[in-house]
Amino acid sequence: MDKTRGKKGPVKFTRGMTNRLVFVFSLVVIGLVVLCGRLIYLHKEYGDQYNIKVLEQQNYSNKVIPYKRGDIVDRNGVVLATSIKVYNLILDPKIMLSDEGKYLEPTLTALNACFGYDINELRQLVNENSKRSYYVYAKKLTYEQMEVFLDMQKDTDNYPNIQGVWFESEYERKYPFSSLACNVLGFTSSGNVGVWGIEEYYSSYLNGVDGREYGYVNNNNVMEAVKKPAENGNNIVSTIDFNVQTIVEKWIKYYTDYYKPENLGVVIMDPRNGEIIAMAGMNSYDLNNPRDLSSYYTAEQIAAMTDDDKLDALNKIWRNYCISDTFEPGSTAKPFTIASALEEGKIGSSIEFNCDGAEHVGGWNIKCHKKSGHGLISIQQALAFSCNDAMMQTAVAEGKDVFVDYQSRFGFGTKTRVDLPGEESCANLIKDEKMGDADLATNSFGQNFNTTMIQLAAGFSSVINGGYYYQPHVVKQIVNENGGVVETFDKNLVKQVVTGETCDIVKEGLKMCVESGTGTKAAIDGYTIAGKTGTAEKLPRGTEEYLLSFIGFAPYDNPEVVCYVVLDNPVVEGKQMTSHVLEVWTAIMNEVLPYLDIFKEVQEISPDAEPGDVDGSLFEDEYNDALNAGNGSTPQDEPDRQPPAPEPEPEPEENPDGDNSGGDSGGNNTEENNSEGNNTEGNNQ
């Protein structure tokens, strides 16, 4: 067998293959020659035009022109937040070292003379960055600082060869009043990013569009500069009143130092349209330096913090207490219980409740603050004396489905959609299918469900303004830099919750609350003040710690302003009572009402006046009933106390006796019947 069979030898080119290869090679060579000829022709005939087209796409300069973020002003035009132009000092080491370095020393000397920069440090920096044309050496210089150097640079006769230094502009956010309205305004981080408050919620309106400045070569081979101006951001006109906000924050600071509460919040709004006139919590911070923790922590504490610890601490300071923190409302919820039952016809306007001091519900004896009972009382008296028994009877009459439905209608359990970030919804309301009899009873007087200040203030406004629920908001208008209106935020009527007739009945009870009930310390001479006190025992029960509150309004006939104050666990001698929060409320409103041009509507009441001397006061027997409400005394028994001035600091005073705050039960007013027959009595407030 032939072993070489099937093996292939080397490939040999035939004459035909060689001819074809030569032909293809010749075509390629001819093509290259033709292409080179064409390029030579184009360069000769059209070279300049092509050069211009290429150069037109090459920038000889490309500088960003920053936009100005819009201002935030109060309702009267007072600037609360603005952006000011500052300048960054740019070094160009490449130019300084050019032309055998003749520009270096004169330029360094000028920088030293104008700014005090160290010449040796500058020289080293320039030499280390000799290939660079852009080095940011200093930031946020003012125009006055920069102007001296520019004048020297222009004076070439006396100061020649100053080259390689230029300035670029940017904007820095400034807050003229430091911490004022910090919870509402928020602040910005780098890149004009809004953080909290209006700065965050309306950031897209406040921000503009950067401009650009660049150069190119025109058709005549001449360099031309093109400048596209920046589009500045829009300005925000807020609903906040600078003067009212200042009053509120002054008294918050004073009473924070005085009572040292866990927190203290104030919301003032217009019930006719939902505009928030002032809003503040106890924690404040400098908007110009929002990451400074030194006001709350020692240097040693800050040094021991991790980055996460610092961020957690800052978020606690930055959060807006009035919209982000939740709590049991206590007796400030009682007007809603009465209003919903009246609206649905479950109780009549002339109904009388028989308060015997407690109701046995779901295996519990749930008590009124007046253990002996109020006896027969009207709707208005039930609100004035803050009777838990009457509220429980009302809740039973309306039933779980109606009660839960109206909780939702009044805005509890859902966000108000106020135009601020960080609002809490308080979604802990019990649904009717899960609500037990005891749940219904305790919910009726503001226990075992949570709310926020903004929720309760918005809902309360609807109870006293004729039944109209307006969406609360902190911005009135958005205007451009020329003053043209971009967008207007008028009052947004969300729904009508109850009728005017229902509101009138509830308002009578709220007026009586201040005239002779649990809120007498809210009375202000010359004004008919109406409102509701609240005293909610904090969890865990039995600690004798309370969240005290009062929400009131004026004028009575046509409410123009609602003020809601929450004083969380004040440090006082003796028992915490609503007189403490009423002191805060009256201190604020004594200044706010005259400022808002809400004129006095009634004559001042003499301290010696008899009950019948005052128009609208209770009848004699009702007045005596009020005197005996609570623990056998009434706020009238307390010595007269005028709101102290912010300065000087007050001396600690004895806790006044006999405030009717016991009527504002948010505490555990239940007494359980267990199988062994031992009754465990909870804390009563």
CATH code of the domain covering residue 65: 3.90.1310.10
pLDDT in tens, 290-343: 999 999 999 999 999 999 999 999 999 999 999 999 999 999 999 999 999 999
Asked if residue 16 is part of any domain, the answer here is no
Residues 127 and 230 in one domain: no
User: What pLDDT score was predicted for residue 642?
Assistant: 35
Residues 358 and 280 in one domain: yes
Question: Looking at residues 208-221, what average pLDDT do you find?
Answer: 74
> Which value, to the nearest 10 degrees, does the dihedral of the CA atoms of residues 506, 509, 510, 513 take?
-160
Describe the strand order of the beta sheet including 211-217 as a list of residue ranges.
62-65, 211-217, 223-228
Residues 74 and 97 in one domain: no
Residues 60 and 118 in one domain: no
Residues 98 and 66 in one domain: no
pLDDT in tens, 441-477: 999 999 999 999 999 999 999 999 999 999 999 999 9
Asked if residue 416 is part of any domain, the answer here is yes
Do the Cβ atoms of 192 and 207 come closer than 8 Å?
Answer: yes
Q: Residue holding tokens 């920053």?
A: 66
User: What pLDDT score was predicted for residue 223?
Assistant: 59
Q: Please provide the DSSP assignment of 274-302 as one string.
A: -BEEEEE-S----TTSTT--TTTS-HHHH
Contact residues for 237 (Cβ-Cβ < 8 A; gap 6+): 73, 75, 77, 475, 476, 477, 478, 479
Record the pTM: 0.79
Asked if residue 31 is part of any domain, the answer here is no
Final residue of a domain: which of 115, 134, 163? 163
Extract the tokens encoding 259: 């009572």
SS3 for 322? helix
Asked if residue 36 is part of any domain, the answer here is no
Give the burial string for 321-336 (b: 16+ CB within 10 Å, else e): bbbbbbbbbbbbbbbb
Do the Cβ atoms of 301 and 358 come closer than 8 Å?
Answer: no
- CA dist 683 and 685 (Å) reads 7
Residues 107 and 194 in one domain: no
Helices 437-444, 388-409: inter-axial angle, 10-degree rounding: 90
Asked if residue 17 is part of any domain, the answer here is no
Question: Which CATH number belongs to the domain containing residue 589 in this structure?
Answer: 3.40.710.10
DSSP state of 209: B
User: What pLDDT score was predicted for residue 645?
Assistant: 39
Residue 509 has pLDDT above 60, yes or no: yes
Quote the number of domains for the chain: 3
Asked if residue 43 is part of any domain, the answer here is no
Residues 62 and 188 in one domain: yes
Average pLDDT, the chain: 85
Asked if residue 248 is part of any domain, the answer here is no
Final residue of a domain: which of 115, 138, 163? 163
Final residue of a domain: which of 113, 143, 163? 163
Residues 118 and 209 in one domain: no
Of the listed ranges 150-164, 526-540, 626-640, the least confidently predicted one is 626-640
Q: Is the peptide bond before 271 cis (omega within 30 degrees of 0)?
A: no
User: What pLDDT score was predicted for residue 662?
Assistant: 40
Burial environment of residue 590 by CB neighbours within 10 A (0 to 12, 13 to 18, 19 or more): middle
pLDDT band at 204 (very low <50, low <70, confident <90, very high): very high
- CA dist 406 and 402 (Å) reads 6
pLDDT in tens, 309-324: 999 999 999 999 999 9
Q: How far is CA 415 from CA 146, 197, 212, 452, 534, in A?
A: 50, 16, 42, 9, 22
Domain assignment of residue 158, given as a range: 93-163
pLDDT in tens, 226-267: 888 999 999 999 999 999 999 999 999 999 999 999 999 999
Could you tell me the maximum CA-CA distance found in the chain, to the nearest angstrom? Answer: 144
More confident residue, 555 or 646: 555
Burial environment of residue 435 by CB neighbours within 10 A (0 to 12, 13 to 18, 19 or more): middle
Extract the tokens encoding 198: 């209006």
User: What pLDDT score was predicted for residue 8?
Assistant: 56
Residues 581 and 544 in one domain: yes
Residues 69 and 104 in one domain: no
- CA dist 124 and 677 (Å) reads 89
Residues 78 and 97 in one domain: no
Pure H helices in 13-103:
15-56, 93-96, 98-101
pLDDT band at 12 (very low <50, low <70, confident <90, very high): low
Amino acid found at 11: V
Do the Cβ atoms of 70 and 233 come closer than 8 Å?
Answer: yes
More confident residue, 207 or 131: 207
Count of Cβ atoms closer than 10 Å to residue 114 Cβ: 19
Residue 652 has pLDDT above 50, yes or no: no
pLDDT in tens, 583-638: 999 999 999 999 999 998 754 444 554 433 333 323 333 333 433 433 333 333 33
Asked if residue 280 is part of any domain, the answer here is yes
- Report which of 281, 266, 327, 258 is spatially closest to residue 573, judged by C-alpha positions: 258
Please calculate the CA angle 473-249-268 and round it to the nearest 5 degrees: 35
Count of Cβ atoms closer than 10 Å to residue 349 Cβ: 13
Residues 539 and 465 in one domain: yes
